[in-house]
Each structure stands twice: as C-alpha cells, then as structure tokens.
Structure 1
Amino acid sequence: MLRAALIGTAAIGAMTSVAAAEQGDWIVRGRAILVSPQEDASGVEPAFPNGSVEVEDAVVPELDFTYFLTRNVGVELILATSPHDLEGTGDLEGLGKIGDVWALPPTLTLQYHFQPEAKVRPYVGVGFNYTIFYNEDATSSLNNAIGDTSISLDESFGVAVQAGVDVDVSENWFVNADIKWIQIDTTATLNTGGSINKVDVELDPIVAGIGLGRRF
C-alpha cells in the first residue's frame, strides 16, 4: 500500500510538472468576449451642445498569445475587433442610431501568474493598448436630419488592467475566464458639407470573456 501511495504521489507530481508553464512556453487562448463601453461623452459641439452619443455593447471572438518570461511572469498580446452602434442622446435621441464604427484595440499586458503548478491558476496583468477606429459610417437618419455627414474617430493610446484564471481540463488544455478594463479616449469629428462638429468620448470598456486555451 505504501509503495502504491508513493507511486501515485510521484505520478501526480509528474503530471503537475508537465502541466505547469515554464520559461519560454507559449499559451494560446480563444475567447468569446463582451465589450461593454462605459462611455462618458461631451455634447456635439458647436451645433448640438445638448446632444451626445451612446456607444452600444458588442460580442465578438478574441485571440490572445502569452509568452512566459519566467514560470510566474508572462507577456500577453490580445487581438480582437468589435463593431459598435452609436445612438443619439439628448437633443439627438429622436434620431435613434446615428452611426456605427469598428474598433481595433490590440492590447499588450505583463501578467503575474500566482500558482503556475496548480490546476487552478489565477493571474493579474497591466499594460497598454493602441486603438484604431475604422469603417465609420453615418446613418440615413443623421444624414436626413443635418445633411450628408462623414464621421471619423481619432486613434487612442491608454492603459489596460486585467484579472483572470486558467483551469486545467487535461494535460495541456484549460478553460479560461478573464476580465479587463481598457482606457480608450477619442474625439469623433462630424463633417457635414464642410461644417465641423466634434464630440469627445471616453469609452473605457470593460471586456469580459470566457474561452479555451492550450500550452505549447
């Protein structure tokens, strides 16, 4: 019985050491994420000081790659792009949806993994993101109300913080849950036949996701 117990303990230890990420290892995760902007927007100046915009949530896939600098410290690159509807508020509320835009915010974080040899491995991270906006479009309701309008959003650079956990389901596969706050501040410019209006928007989305990962 003692011999069997010792063999079982050794086997568990071997499995743990195989499963633990080591310096130089990579892990890849795929997640489904909810991008929920916590926006704070100014008025649309100068024409609609009492009108503003609200940015809607989006659910999209995300892919990320983590490289382990040590057993506990990793660097993660997070890749995703999300579409967002722009809803009018205040004096613009009657127009409903006034535009839409895609956001591409590649984010790099430095992570600390608390229990690299455990089956359940929590981690935290901090880093930065660079956000590009593209495919900005005004809706027919906005164009009909004020004339043909083009929309453009400035690029953004900000910080990001995250917390998450990996839970093993096999030797190299695990499930993951993760939440991030990303600082994204931009200015939207509305050009209506040369007449310019601007609105400052702090998006600062919370990004919550769940998915599957693998060690390499």
Structure 2
Amino acid sequence: MKTMTRIAVAAALACGVAGQASAYEAGDFIVRLGAATVSPNEDSDNINLPTEPPISLPGISIDNDTQLGITGTWMFADKWGVELLAATPFEHDFKVKGLGIDGGSVTHLPPTLSLQWYPRGGSNGWQPYLGVGLNYTFIYDEEVSGILEGTLGAVLGASRADLKLDDSIGPAAQAGVDIPLGDNFGLNIGVWYIDIGTEATIVTDVGKVKFDVDIDPWVYNVGIAWRF
C-alpha cells in the first residue's frame, strides 16, 4: 500500500511538471533503475519416475523473486530506441506438485535486447513505449533440496540427486512509460513478457529423469529513469 501511494504521489507531481520535460530525441541515452519482479507463468511436464509401477508427478511450481533491474536505451531516432535489460541474479524456489514438498532452487540471469517504439518521441511530456526483442536466459546454481533428495532416495533407492536446467533463447515483448518528474529524470513503470523454455534433468546414481518446463514469466519494474 505504501508503495502504491508513493507511485500515485509521483504521478500526480509528474502531471504538474510534464510540460517542462524535454522531448526524447535521437542520440539520447536513457538509464532506468528499479525493482524488477519476475513472476513465472510456468507450465511443467509431468515428472515420470522410473519405478515399477511407474510414478508420475504433475510437474513443478516456481516462486516469484524481486531483484535490482537496470536497462539502458540508446535512441537512434526520435521515436526509436534499442534497449538492453540486465539485473542482479534472480533466485527462485520451486516445489514438486503432487508431493507438496520443496524441490530446491535455481538462479538465472535474463539479459534481453529489444527494439523500442516511442509514439511521442520528439514531443515533451509522458513517454510511453512498446518493444519486441530477444531474450537469453542463463540458468545456473541449480540446487536440489534435502527433502527432495531424501524422497528420491526412498522411492528410487538413489543416494544422491543433482539438477540441471538448460539455458533458454526466446522472444520477448514489453510495454512501459516514463513519467517526467523533471527535465532529465522521471518515474518508470514497465512490464515484459518473456518466452523462457528449458529442459530439466534430475541426475541420480540410479538413472536420469527429464522433463520440459515453460517458465514464461511476466517481469514488472518500477523505478527511476534518467536521460543523458
């Protein structure tokens, strides 16, 4: 509630100074810094364990995470820019559906390069934008929880369990707005939809289990924009 109040106050202030803010123009650099939340919209294949008879679990669910997000945009024309999205590493806990237990965690970095269109570029005031681009998600530091490792040990007779998720390349789309609070800075609100698909492999000393996971997160950002 406090965050929403601050945003509302900032937007109200922006209405009073929007006319004073200079237009975005070719050659400008725009840096946006804020709190970025990755909210997975996951769709996971069943996890088929090699038992007799076979046991099938209904995939995994993945928690949200919020980190520091930073983007840099170069305006190569009044209405067009190129943006690179970066962030501090996101760490997500996941649960195994059906068992209702913590499965472990994964860490990833989702750099995204986008072409942006600014319909009000060259005009003073608010600067909405749309973008499309390409995302590369680097997934690392996968960990299996002790609870899941123990469960696999009891069911499969495994003495260890490791997890590996493949990196992902996919399209991304975005929308956002910079609300001026001064001549060269303002409030930024943005959202991305990123197509992230990966193959997960659980490796044990008695065999491997593979299943596909579509993470497909919405990414929300609220922060500050600076124009140079």
So what's the TM-score if we normalise by structure 2? 0.83
Give secondary structure in 1 for the equivalent of 2:48: coil
- Identity rate, percent: 36
Q: Which residue of 2 aligns with 1:72?
A: 79
Counterpart residue number, 1:49: 56
Distance, in Å, in 1 between the alignment partners of 2:49 and 2:208 is 8
- For 1:24 and 1:194, locate their aligned partners in 2 and report how far apart those are by CA, in whole Å: 59
Q: What CA distance in whole angstroms lies between the structure 2 residues aligned with 1:200 and 1:139?
A: 20
For the residue of structure 2 that corresponds to 1:204, the secondary structure is coil
Distance, in Å, in 2 between the alignment partners of 1:210 and 1:151 is: 33
Asked if residue 84 in structure 1 is aligned to residue 89 in structure 2, the reply is: no
Q: Moved runs in structure 1, 4+ residues, more than 3 A? A: none
Distance in 2 (CA, whole Å) between partners of 1:171 and 1:146 is 59
The answer (yes or no) to whether the contact 1:46–1:198 under 8 Å persists in 2 is no
Aligned to 2:190: 178
Q: How much has 1:118 moved relative to structure 2?
A: 2.7
Give the drift of 1:170.
0.6
Distance 1:212 1:189 in 2: 39
Q: Is the 8 A contact 2:193 2:216 kept in 1?
A: yes
What is the distance in 1 between the residues matched to 2:112 and 2:80?
Answer: 17
Q: CA deviation at 1:49?
A: 2.1
**1:46 Cα deviation after fit:** 3.9
1:133–1:194 CA distance, 2 compared to 1 (3 A): farther
Give distance in 2, aligned partners of 1:208 and 1:175.
14
CA distance in 2, matches of 1:165, 1:22: 16
The answer to whether residue 125 in structure 2 is matched with residue 103 in structure 1 is: no
Unaligned 5+ runs, structure 2? 1-16, 154-159
Give 3-state SS (helix, strand or coil) of 2:25's partner. Answer: coil
Q: Which amino acid aligns with 1:63?
A: I
The aligned counterpart of 2:202 is 190
Partner of 2:157: none
Give the 3-state SS of the residue equivalent to 1:159 in structure 2.
strand
Q: Please, which of 16, 21, 39 is the counterpart of residue 42 of structure 2?
A: 39
Number of residue pairs matched? 199
| CA positional deviation for 1:179 | 0.8
CA distance in 1, matches of 2:223, 2:162: 37
Q: Indicate the structure (1 or 2) with the bigger Cα radius of gyration.
A: 1
Secondary structure at the aligned position of 2:148 is classed as helix
